[in-house]
Structure 1
């Protein structure tokens, strides 16, 4: 067995110490160049050697994480998946979303397998970072609203959609949260504290017909909201029908009230709530 000696030179020691002082476990080449006051090409070479010694792990081009000293001779460390995902879009506007946000808010009983982050101007793709699958979803800048901080550790936070925006995102892309049923179960779990007026505000602001229809059905299904909430949604309906869950076959009865093809039955939804 080969044991890698994690010896620190003066530059790498300065970098590690400063990053700890700044509470940055994940950092960019730009951060390192600022701390070391050295050109990026010099810093990149130093980080390559630091990675070989197990001091840092490269997450993607230009992005690194410190390997905790308590891991001993381990040389690869991915860090907290939520923090890693929060850093991947760089300076682009972004937030953790869909199924990941459901898990953060305690709105699902399913294990979190994939971490999803919505980002402005970033190509939609799925990447693997040291064994963690992270899905990046491209959105427009006008769609960045309903965001809050989630504290992972003292002094370490990530951007995440709030409860209401999480529901709206899941209604728009049920495939990114496990299906419409997961959005229903999540809403049911938080039904006593969800702000239904805010839900409607968000749906109308997003202005996607399928979302407006699904939200109206969701309010009825979870028995939340007021008649005024429903009326605001009804005003925006057109004659077109959309599937309740676009990832499932387009079968089942039609709902004239919400212009939906009900390809997930009420019985299925109630069964999942009780599971």
Structure 2
């Protein structure tokens, strides 16, 4: 891990089909003690732009809002490779249609209420299973994102060695948001659902982050314009990128990036879960 004073921190709100209308959002920050200052927000309109972004020189630690692994139970049932690098290469070589068919067959063979397999981190983080292909389609996010992380040669702690100056961590912004505002909804891509209640919820999240009211022990420093922009983005994508950035900054200061003992090296872990 590079010296904390030298490293930049990033949070990436990922989408598997980025566009000018719905880009990948990147929050950049610098940490001084218990304060993380938001340096800026960036929009990546394509997966090629995302791949190019990953090659920027370190030292940096980034939190990515996408799953880095699949449940071991699923992998073993399907007879897929059980080494992380081999599994990701196998997964990347499959089409979405092939993945959907295999996952659907797996689910069809299981009882109601237990259709999906889960990773060890899903429960503690309150995250969707990484094999879900709809609502939200996190399986496609893994399919689009992780092969690009591997191709860029970044370091995936506990999973795959790479450039120690460019560290990629799996994060889940909803974990931190729930700590601050419980189950209140703060975002929607649908214009009709972009309500005053969700705007107030985003403001409450930002206020709590600025005041450092989370177990991460970090306080977010914003300009007035940045605060207004985070609250105004009704999609919540900019705010999610900032939440992921704070989770990455927290994990960078922990032994093993905050991974508890006994994590399955095939499945990975969600930072701060």
Which TM-score tier does this pair reach, normalised by the shorter chain? under 0.3
TM-score (norm 1): 0.23
The higher relative CO (CA closer than 8 Å, separation ≥ 6) is in 2
